Amino acid sequence: MSGNGHPRRRWSFVERLGSLPGIATIFTAIMALYMTLVAFGNITDFGTNQQFVSHVLEMDTTFNDDDVMWRAVENDTLQNMGYVGVIVWETLAALVLWYGAWQLFRRLLGGGDWTQARRLASAGLLMVVLLFGLGFITVGGEWFSMWQSSEWNGLEPALQNVILAALALVFVHLPSRDWTEGRHIAADDLHGPEHARP
């Protein structure tokens, strides 16, 4: 029953997708797919981005200012460890995001408590923000002076990823009645009127 004493109409699937939880679910799934493709690309085409990481850490295309060049990492083993660490983080972020997206989608279909699903999605999205915001923009861009390089500069894509993840986080955390009312999609919306709930 709704607050005015009338029976609450169950939402159709399309209406649920257009609700705030639906938007949060879609954005989380998009980020999950994106991180999956990023990790897959780095694993199957290991050498391409390995060069990127090596040049950023070596700082060999920066202004070569002696005051900052002491920060450069020229050891191949350390460079490869850093690159593998990035790939592992990307893979874990993708897995957490997929699980979070699945949990959100389940609540979207069946209602119930959104708390766990929102926390899982938030954890995955924060992993993306940490990777690209802290790892690429802060450490790579400032500590290793990537902003000085015209050849090996990943700041723009990193910022794009941070913005997308942050936008998804906003949708996940925006307050709305839709998070608490636990509305269900009517069975007849999914299977036809003969399966509708009484």
Q: How far apart are CA 50 and CA 31, in angstroms?
A: 23
pLDDT for the residue numbered 198: 45
Q: Is residue 4 part of a domain?
A: no
pLDDT tens profile 89-132: 999 999 999 999 999 999 888 867 899 999 999 999 999 999 99
Q: Is residue 47 part of a domain?
A: yes
* Residue 155 predicted with pLDDT over 50: yes
- Residue 185 DSSP symbol: B
In a domain, 12, yes or no: no
Is 1 contained in some domain? no
Q: Which residues pair with 185 in a beta bridge?
A: 11
Residue 183 confidence (pLDDT) = 47
Confidence of residue 5 (pLDDT cuts 50, 70, 90): low
Question: What pLDDT sits at residue 89?
Answer: 98
The answer for residues whose C-beta is within 8 angstroms of residue 122's C-beta and 6 or more apart is: 100, 169, 172, 173
**Domain membership flag for residue 36:** yes
Confidence band, pLDDT 50/70/90 cuts, at residue 176: confident
- 89 within a domain of the structure (yes/no): yes
The tens digit of pLDDT for each residue in 35-73 reads 999 999 999 999 989 999 999 999 999 999 999 999 999
Structure tokens at 126: 């924060």
Asked if pLDDT for residue 11 goes beyond 70, the answer is no
Does residue 150 form part of some domain?
Answer: yes
